Structure 1
Amino acid sequence: MQISDYKNIYFLGIGGIGMSALARWFNINGFQVAGYDRTATTLTDTLQQEGISVHFDDSIDLIPSAFLENPTQTLVVFTPAIPKDHQEYNYFISNHFPLLKRSKVLGLIANEMYTIGIAGTHGKTTTSSMTAHLLRHSNVNCAAFLGGITQNYGTNMLLNEPSEDLSSVPCVVEADEFDRSFLTLFPEIAVVTSTDADHLDIYGDHHAVLDSFSAYVSQIKPTGQLFMKKGLALAPKTQAKVWEYSLNEGDYHAQNIRIENACFIFDVVHPDGIIKGLELKVPGFHNVENAIAAIAIGLTIGLTDDQIRKAIATFGGVKRRFEYYLKTDSNVLIDDYAHHPAEVAAFLSSLKALYPDRHITAIFQPHLYSRTRDFALEFAQSLSIADSVVLLEIYPARELPIEGVSADLIFKHITCDKMQCMKSDLINVIKNRSTDVIATIGAGDIDTYIEPLKQLIQDSISFSGFQSQSQ
């Protein structure tokens, strides 16, 4: 099956962030695109403004007739959230239209292009976003399908300019291991940032996670290249050329790392020389390491030192990755999506390096019962890097409760100042604690409390200022 086999692409669930990205790609690359979603949103508004037909009632009569005339010319892309009694869904099945899930279709698109697949149990969203920014800022025609909203572009995707030869157009893909969807990719260039145990509710054990990453790198084109974090045991699994990178050693690494005005300044050593004086405004030692991987790809694509230096200096980061909401001499409020112990440790260690003399309060919301059960001690050790921890209840996401599993498993092993509270009590709790440097951490809905926390801190600053002026 190839994308070029089809004229029409129809989406069941077109309004999702991932689905709408695919719809926009097909539309810009000359396909007829239409779709259904349950409700209108800003995303569906954007699709309609770009000329895509979208409707919101489950009705076969609302599907454009050209999409129904010949099942062999229409590909149907669906989300598993579509109910099994959906009329349109069942019509397509009954009439033998080809139906594929989003991950399969993303694989088909990527395999039409020069694929750069960036995988890893953590670090892949920032690394893929950095890579896409390096290419776009350097005026390279490229596409990108990312796992987060970039600050530079306000979107999770970049659209390429139409080309008669897509095979030469780079496509940066965040290669997700969660449901093994990255096994739909056969990249020319691949990055693996980490292979830590995670998603054990899906995989069962760490060995199965490693097997999945081994399968992924085995699919790199034999003439391609793999850039992997130093120490990963993946080199024997691929025929591609293998390069290692890390913060301090490997074929690609950093030196002269220093912090100036809350920015990380560093040089990158690579097999052909050194790029000096790189400035990264998105803080964190782990982000310097992510930048090294992105720079390695940029050099491979043919970017110059000057292009790389300028692009890195203008990278604005990704939503919910080391994202500042307040940054003053007296108060800092920062948010991060970290939901694995290694991510929490990397984030808090970098925060400590940035603010060595400040009191850091970490507000952490555990994500998934199974992940809490599997990594309770490791979470406690990572959180203990902070000066104080406020621990919330577990965000269940897709899981039902597991008997005996609660945030208590983490709490009892935290060694710094600590307390537990319900989300509904969080604002009142913070009123009575230090608001010097506050970090909200987690992959659930903790980000919904950022604006109330910001308002609380700002009100406190205003009140303090009013008091001092009136005395």
Structure 2
Amino acid sequence: MKSIEKIKNVYFLGIGGIGMSALARYFKYTGKNVAGYDRTQTALTDTLQEEGIDVHFEDDIRNIPSKWNPAETIAVYTPALPDEHKELNWFKSQPIGLFKRAKVLGLIANEKSAIAVAGTHGKTTTSTMVANILNKTPKGCGAFLGGISKNFGSNLVLPKEESPWIVAEADEFDRSFLHLQPLLALVTSVDADHLDIYGDKARIVESFEKFISQIREEGKLVIKKGVELDTSKTKAQVFTYSLKDDTDFAALNLKLDEASGTYGFDLKTPDGIIANCKMEYPGLVNVENAIGAASLAWLAGVSANELKAGIQDYQGVARRFDVRFRSEKKIYIDDYAHHPEELKAFISSVKALYPGKKVTGIFQPHLYTRTRDFAAEFAASLDLLDHAVLLPLYPAREEPVKGVSSEIIFDKMTLEAKQLMEKSELENMLKNDQNEIILTMGAGDIDRMVKPIVELLQQEQGV
């Protein structure tokens, strides 16, 4: 690849993706000409256009800037694009560097001291927490995040010139994280997922073990207790973390403030206790994520006061345990959960936070292959609800698979209060259901229902 400094123009194929848009912003803010294509207009693509980035939504090579010098141009693409994509195939025929997003992220992150957060779930929240803690230090950090941080108002944190750190979400999809060579790394979970890419869990484990083998020799690795990886494949020093087990990093004296729904704890580290940590953000699962984030920050040399400030100041990520409405009678929380283990963790955290309350969960399955491969596990997680609503499956990048729909999850559920429903029927259901806690869950276009649900609840509750 050409030196990043010599590149003047960057074109993105799939610019509206959360990881792609962070790179687009990075190149724009560092003085490059940036443009790109995406299939769908979203709030994120609107924001990119407001920031001066040219975005279009038709797969047409005439929209590619014609005045850019090929010798000073690269194109970045997402592997989610179909093989027949016209613009992608045009770039393949040109003397222009064409790279996957993960390759470009690796080139940027590996130039500094990278802090990589990997795992089949929990990595967006944890990496965002790490970035928030490090930005309480004088040198700060840069970060490429998998969600819109409420603290930063973006999925990109630009590094200060003197900062040694780049925080990066290490994505296992398409083995993207194998382009990273971090100094510090953390693994939150290794569950079966993306079986359309890997085939079986053994190959996922193999890929994670390859990832940890790429940590720098002088580096450090933190693994959540219970994650089974062969750590002999890394030369890094290995630490463990958990919510409250006997690990190198853990929460001691964990207490729930029932009035605010938040938790306080003392942080156990290999060098002693950091007392009186407090999270203003709800959810027991987020306390566990905070332990992981704190372990990386501690290993990066952050002081106890900076660490505590970063944990307490954390405001969350859009669509991660995102409390969108709260009144005396009802609470509405939106979450990106789209894997059975994510659903289980999210629903269990809500139940722990609001014991005795009726919880209605609305779930949109994501991908035919994931729904097919984990129908029984999805059913078991959704059975934790008091009332479950399943929306039609969101296919994303996939073509239909015969016999696969939301109904195969529905049929495996034992919960009596369950419904299959079109999105158009949600408003009437919410008006008539005696719900106290409402959850929306999924990685598809269910996010478009969030605003209408908030408006309905505001009207209903007179807020």
TM-score, normalising length from structure 2? 0.89
Q: Which runs of 5+ in 2 are unaligned?
A: none
After the TM superposition, which residues 106-117 of structure 1 pair with which residues of structure 2 at under 5 Å, given as runs? 106-117=105-116
The alpha-carbon distance between structure 1 residues 97 and 282, as it changes in their structure 2 partners (threshold 3 A), is: same
The alpha-carbon distance between structure 1 residues 239 and 18, as it changes in their structure 2 partners (threshold 3 A), is: same
1: CA distance between counterparts of 2:171 and 2:391? 27
| 1:335 to partner: Cα distance | 0.7
2: CA distance between counterparts of 1:228 and 1:456? 42
Larger mean Cα displacement after TM superposition, 177-186 or 34-43: 34-43
| 1:62 to partner: Cα distance | 4.4
Pair 1:257-2:254 in alignment: yes
Residue 213 (structure 1) aligned to one of 208, 212, 219:
208
Say if 2:25 and 2:156, in contact at 8 Å, map to a contact too.
no
| 1:459 to partner: Cα distance | 2.7
The alpha-carbon distance between structure 1 residues 45 and 357, as it changes in their structure 2 partners (threshold 3 A), is: same
Amino acid at match of 2:255: R
Amino acid at match of 1:279: K
* Cα shift readout 1:379-402 (whole Å, capped 9, x = no counterpart): 122112221112222222222222
Q: Paired residue for 2:427? A: 427
1: CA distance between counterparts of 2:385 and 2:373? 22
Q: Paired residue for 1:185? A: 180
TM-score, normalising length from structure 1? 0.88
Say if 2:49 and 2:55, in contact at 8 Å, map to a contact too.
no
The alpha-carbon distance between structure 1 residues 35 and 431, as it changes in their structure 2 partners (threshold 3 A), is: closer
Percent identical residues = 45
The alpha-carbon distance between structure 1 residues 2 and 111, as it changes in their structure 2 partners (threshold 3 A), is: farther
Q: Paired residue for 2:240? A: 244
Residue 45 (structure 1) aligned to one of 27, 49, 70:
49
Provide the secondary structure at the position in 2 that maps to 1:26. Answer: helix
The alpha-carbon distance between structure 1 residues 363 and 33, as it changes in their structure 2 partners (threshold 3 A), is: same
1: CA distance between counterparts of 2:436 and 2:250? 34
Provide the secondary structure at the position in 1 that maps to 2:117. Answer: strand
Q: Paired residue for 1:379? A: 378
The alpha-carbon distance between structure 1 residues 428 and 61, as it changes in their structure 2 partners (threshold 3 A), is: closer
| 1:35 to partner: Cα distance | 3.3
Aligned length: 448
Pair 1:230-2:230 in alignment: no
Amino acid at match of 1:289: E
Pair 1:281-2:280 in alignment: yes
1: CA distance between counterparts of 2:207 and 2:295? 24
| 1:59 to partner: Cα distance | 5.0
Amino acid at match of 2:309: K
Pair 1:172-2:167 in alignment: yes
* Cα shift readout 1:328-348 (whole Å, capped 9, x = no counterpart): 221111111111111111111
* Cα shift readout 1:330-368 (whole Å, capped 9, x = no counterpart): 111111111111111111111111110211111111222
Q: Paired residue for 2:6? A: 6
* Cα shift readout 1:281-327 (whole Å, capped 9, x = no counterpart): 22222211111111011111111111111111110101101111111
Q: Which runs of 5+ in 1 are unaligned?
A: 466-471
| 1:201 to partner: Cα distance | 1.5
| 1:143 to partner: Cα distance | 0.9
Amino acid at match of 2:232: P
Provide the secondary structure at the position in 1 that maps to 2:430. Answer: helix
Say if 1:3 and 1:109, in contact at 8 Å, map to a contact too.
no
After the TM superposition, which residues 25-424 of structure 1 pair with which residues of structure 2 at under 5 Å, given as runs? 25-29=26-30, 32-37=32-37, 41-48=45-52, 54=54, 58=61, 62-64=65-67, 67-68=69-70, 71=71, 73-79=72-78, 81=81, 85-86=86-87, 90=90, 96-162=95-161, 169-234=164-229, 235-249=231-245, 250-260=247-257, 261-416=260-415, 417-424=417-424
* Cα shift readout 1:12-43 (whole Å, capped 9, x = no counterpart): 448434334224323544x5434344799534
| 1:93 to partner: Cα distance | 5.1
Pair 1:18-2:12 in alignment: no
Provide the secondary structure at the position in 2 that maps to 1:344. Answer: helix
Say if 1:192 and 1:229, in contact at 8 Å, map to a contact too.
yes
Say if 2:256 and 2:264, in contact at 8 Å, map to a contact too.
yes
Say if 2:124 and 2:147, in contact at 8 Å, map to a contact too.
yes
2: CA distance between counterparts of 1:396 and 1:380? 19
2: CA distance between counterparts of 1:61 and 1:205? 39
| 1:55 to partner: Cα distance | 7.7
The alpha-carbon distance between structure 1 residues 299 and 367, as it changes in their structure 2 partners (threshold 3 A), is: same
1: CA distance between counterparts of 2:208 and 2:116? 12
Amino acid at match of 2:311: I
Greater radius of gyration (CA):
1
2: CA distance between counterparts of 1:359 and 1:60? 51
Say if 1:151 and 1:319, in contact at 8 Å, map to a contact too.
yes
Q: Paired residue for 1:452? A: 452
Provide the secondary structure at the position in 2 that maps to 1:112. Answer: coil
Say if 2:22 and 2:145, in contact at 8 Å, map to a contact too.
no
Provide the secondary structure at the position in 2 that maps to 1:434. Answer: coil
Compute the RMSD of aligned alpha carbons.
2.6
1: CA distance between counterparts of 2:396 and 2:134? 35
